[in-house]
Amino acid sequence: MDSQPSCVVVTGFGPFRQHLVNSSWEAVKELSKLGLNSDVEVELRILQLPVDYREVKQRVTRIWEGLQPQLSVHIGLDASAKAIVLEQCAKNRGYRDADIWGFRPARGECLPDGPEVIASEVSMKAVSKRVAVEGVEVTFSRDAGRYVCDYTYYLSLHHGNGCAVLIHVPPLSRWLPASLLGKALQVIIQAMLEELRKPNLEAWFAENSTAAIPAQGNQLGDCFREN
């Protein structure tokens, strides 16, 4: 049996609009100091992405073709958020807001003829319920906002067959410093890696047991369900 990839890529975004310090990248830098602290040997790779549709498209492709990570974790800033938000799915169309160069994707879409929605293999609802981070709430969402974060997520889910996640973080503040966000990311990514391993464990038990294992809910359908 082939060994599982042992790399996790975590990206944050650079400055945009009035956000000269992007909390997503500050959080990723803090995470790199802490490491993943995983019980399985996993290498952490970090990368800053510009808020640039065309450059993101190239870099996401290179991540999946070159590094082939076990999981690609994209961190983005949501200026209006008060909690850390785990995004379940990404949308193909509706990208009308310009990036830092004033560029908008043709027809406002990621991939011509791509599916309207792609869902992550990770259940964000399950992760949000199991993690506890002192000082900040962790919740989940099914609408990632139709900007460069969502665009990045869609492309990463497409190239990675669902083995990608998007986490939106609030702006930095006195009550929410980068150090706390970095620790929160460590805890959340640990839980996500455990969620990803669940189907493998279930398949093993199915092969080695006569007992049936209940199927998980349809995550693509979850994207259209009301909170």
Per the structure, how many domains does the chain have? 1
Q: Tell which wins on pLDDT, 209 or 49.
A: 49
Cβ-based neighbours of 195, under 8 Å, separated by 6 or more: 122, 123, 126, 127
Residue 87 annotated to the active site: yes
The pLDDT of residue 84 is 96
| Contact status, residue 6 vs residue 70, Cβ threshold 8 Å | yes
The parent domain of residue 89 ranges over: 6-197
Main-chain phi, psi angles of 75, to 5 degrees: -110, 130
**The pLDDT value given to residue 41:** 80
Local confidence band at 134 (pLDDT 50, 70, 90 cut-offs)? confident
Q: Looking at the domain assignment, is residue 98 inside a domain?
A: yes
Domain assignment of residue 226, yes or no: no
74 a catalytic residue = no
Distance of alpha carbon 91 from alpha carbon 84, whole angstroms: 20
Question: Is 223 part of a structural domain of the chain?
Answer: no
Selecting among 30, 74, 168, 195, the annotated active-site residue is: 168
Q: Where are the alpha helices (DSSP H) in 48-177?
A: 53-62, 124-130, 148-159
> Does residue 28 form part of some domain?
yes
222 within domain boundaries: no
Pick from 156, 154, 158: nearest CA to 144? 154
Which of the following is catalytic: 149, 158, 163, 195? 149
Q: What are phi and psi of 164, to 5 degrees?
A: -140, 155
C-alpha–C-alpha distance, residues 120 and 86, integer Å: 11
Known catalytic residue at 168:
yes
- Per-residue pLDDT of 19-31, as tens digits, reads 788 999 999 999 9
Residue 83 scores a pLDDT above 50? yes
Q: What is the DSSP letter of 109?
A: B
* Greatest CA separation for the chain: 58
On the question of pLDDT at 215 being above 50, the answer is: no
The single residue of 87, 89, 163, 195 carrying the catalytic annotation is 87
The three-point CA angle 127-130-133 to 5° equals 95
In a domain, 219, yes or no: no
C-alpha closest to that of 191 among 32, 103, 73, 93: 73
* CATH code of residue 177: 3.40.630.20
Closest by alpha carbon to 152, among 168, 142, 166? 166
